[in-house]
Structure 1
């Protein structure tokens, strides 16, 4: 396993992290299977992963509970990221980035994680309106000063809101960024560039495009009710990226890598990306993810993958 310095901090993180949304038991199909989740966590530790990304709303707190129980007694051996700002207590799962709500959410996360601090606390997709009206940068600074988080940052989606935050953050409150990035979705290229210039570590969500870049799904796939991909990955959307997938498959053939390894390696070879956080619902998926650590892609393969147009998620 390869490890990278996390921005301006003094800790190192594995270049392959553990995305813990799936083990929360909702949004990705198949329901909750805690035994598989525990096996995935055991495999991740055995293979050198020390970087774990969760959120209070993943499984309505269950993902945090699993991580808290698993790492009880060995807390200092791992780097834990969690997030707040999505109010999962109400049916519409609304956003709330007020100071009092975030402080309450962080305290509840710490209880579920069975720790008195997290290494990284991220605000979970605040749009530009919330950024301006809730004074989120002051709250982030207060959280860090409290000692309940070693550093703070943002988990974002669209580039426009992230660029707005980077422009408005004149005091350097943003010390970490999580954003989606993969061969099919390069919408955050400018974000990654600016973060690199400021030495803000970027770790990427959706590096496998919600599993599409494993090669397991295609135009005939029908995702089940409750699966986060249903509706988005329609037959029409698969057809829209047909030519892109041909380029990716050509690169798979030229490198001899599996598609998921190529996809993760693309992220890890991209300047400014500190770590990738693919999901791992079971031991097998974790082992597949870990296999991509340290893979170096040639300039020609990176050029071909850069030519993939994809689309903005």
Structure 2
């Protein structure tokens, strides 16, 4: 049927699992879509994309679509199965329906049989082909940001602002165009989610562009490997995070009472520019031991009689 469309499609509706209200959008699915969009634009073909309202609330959703506006429906990526895919065949019965870059679970199932053409990436009895995401247009790199926050530290009592700080910081981070990694400095030799040694923690931190943290050791360990740190003190009036930033001479610090987008943006920009050099300088200062620390003073104390001199 598709082969007899000599004049080409009037308008194509691009769909996928990223289109359904209770579906999901994966990075691979969206890159596969970008590959299809690239090809259609190159061929001069008009198209629209349907998005899940939960993922892209401001874009075109199935509730907004008038099926009669389209001559073709294309389903991009993912498995061909289930009632949601089957419903597409009923709602867009007048369209030429094509699946591309998909996995065929059951070639005889209604979801797969409903398409006029299936250009599968894999399925029973067929030779697999490259996933569409492999040749999607290149995307620019984004900052990789480690996020180390705590809801503990109840020893600070009424001065605790941990929940408020975490809520404001994570809401702000959700709007930043970056790759976020939720990290933990706590070690555990049995839980694979956590690092078992300090070296493992440092290996992750050293590969980041930035650390955002309200923890003292999030600050110190980030600077120790030369990664800039945006530190937030979650205790009203300042406590150990503020004290440590002062001891290290690290300026990118926001107090619990000052957490707002303007201040966070200011230090974000600094950390990803001048802060890169400053963090490496801090790392070198730590390694060279330019300033005596508590361990140095401990030796002096232990060397005195009974440690009381």
Q: Provide the TM-score with structure 2 as the length reference.
A: 0.28
Larger Rg: 2
Q: Provide the TM-score with structure 1 as the length reference.
A: 0.28
More relative contact order, 1 or 2 (CA 8 Å, 6+ apart): 1
